[in-house]
Structure 1
Amino acid sequence: MTYRVCFVCTGNICRSPMAEAVFRARVAEAGLDALVEVDSAGTGGWHEGEGADPRTVAVLEENGYTIDHTARQFQPSWFSRLDLVVALDSGHLRALRRLAPTEQDAEKVRLLRSYAHPSPGHDLDVPDPYYGGREGFDECLEMVEEASIGLLAAIREQVEGRAA
């Protein structure tokens, strides 16, 4: 049975497509690509149909990741088919939990950086790089890569638990 995860940011052109590309690579490296489906979306539809921000694409490609992306808006009906919804910041977390049709669906929503095992009181948001320069996209990639290690471990545990 496939484990389905969706990364969600604001417009689905910067942070969530970056997280999707990085995590898809981690899943493939772990040999779990037949068991884990990775996707992304935005809380809003402002950029629906557009590709990822060129700065996102550049940072990913320069770091060895591939991306083929078309932005779309997260729909509440998706909760029924998803196992995990990964929010990139606390605003997305709140918005997604409000969209959740049931309490069980709301519990599927987690912050990406919560998988990075930060120290208490540490900010768990991945800052939006859209209005800044290139360094914001590099910082975003570092945060996504760091959190992807813990996320992969958590999902591997879930997938192996299902197979048992």
Structure 2
Amino acid sequence: MTRVLFVCMGNICRSPAAEIVFRKMVDAAGIEDRIEIDSAGTIGYHMGNPPDSRMATHLECRGYQVAGRARKLVKEDLATFDLVLVMDEENLADAKALDPSGELHSKIRPFVGYLKIHSSSCVPDPYYGGDDGFAHVIDLLEDGCSTLLKEIS
């Protein structure tokens, strides 16, 4: 079993979208029994909330089934998951801060390292932007998740 955790700041836009996109790809590949997928945020402000309605709308337009509730990243996640994929540099720093010893830092990686079609230094937070930002984030997630799936399977 490979365990993958996607991480953004609030766990209502980028990381739940990554979880949803990757879950659909894993299910389509028929390997859902070999990969555990989850998402979390570095802050707890949105705990218990569903994905942002704007992100949900964009995902549904592309045929994704939207589900999940926001939760906060905890230190135990770093030990539990094999890969902790963060959306930007701030998320990277926050996740690494949960492991001051650095023992688990090799599991924490920037999601953009899996991009093959697009080039970006981060998966930008679309929360304060317009519709184009949500669509762009999904484009990046589909690109990176496709590469991730090939790497894991």
- In structure 2, distance between residues paired with 1:101 and 1:7: 20
Show the counterpart of 2:43: 44
Gapped regions of structure 1 (runs ≥ 5): 157-164
**Which residue of 2 is the match for residue 126 of structure 1?**
123
Amino acid at match of 1:123: S
Aligned residue in 2 for 1:143: 140
How many Å apart are 1:89 and its aligned residue? 0.9
Displacement of 1:38 in angstroms is 0.5
Q: Are 1:154 and 2:151 matched, yes or no? A: yes
- Partners in 1 of 2:2 and 2:44 — Cα distance? 25
Distance (whole Å) between structure 2 residues aligned to residue 128 and residue 118 of structure 1: 19
CA 1:113–1:31 in 2, change beyond 3 Å: closer, same or farther?
Answer: same
Cα deviation, 1:31-54, whole Å, max 9, x if unaligned, reads 110010110000000100111100
Preserved CA contact (<8 Å) 2:116 2:143? no
Q: Deviations over 1:13-67 (max 9, x none)?
A: 0000100000001111111100101100000001001111001110111100112
Structure 2: gaps spanning 5 or more residues: none
CA distance in 1, matches of 2:26, 2:100: 29
Matched-pair contact (CA < 8 Å) for 1:100–1:106: yes
Describe the SS at the equivalent of 1:23. Answer: helix
Matched residues in 1 for 2:114 and 2:52: separation? Answer: 25
Q: Compute the TM-score of the two structures, normalised by the length of structure 1.
A: 0.88
Report the Cα offset of residue 7 of structure 1: 0.3
Larger Rg: 1
Task: Determine if contact 2:10/2:70 at 8 Å carries over to the other structure.
Answer: yes
The amino acid that maps onto 1:75 is: V
Task: After TM superposition, give the deviation of residue 124 of structure 1 in Å.
Answer: 2.3
Runs of 4+ in structure 1 deviating by more than 6 angstroms, as ranges, are none
Identity %, equivalent residues: 40
- Cα offset, 1:102, TM superposition: 4.3
1:60 partner SS: helix
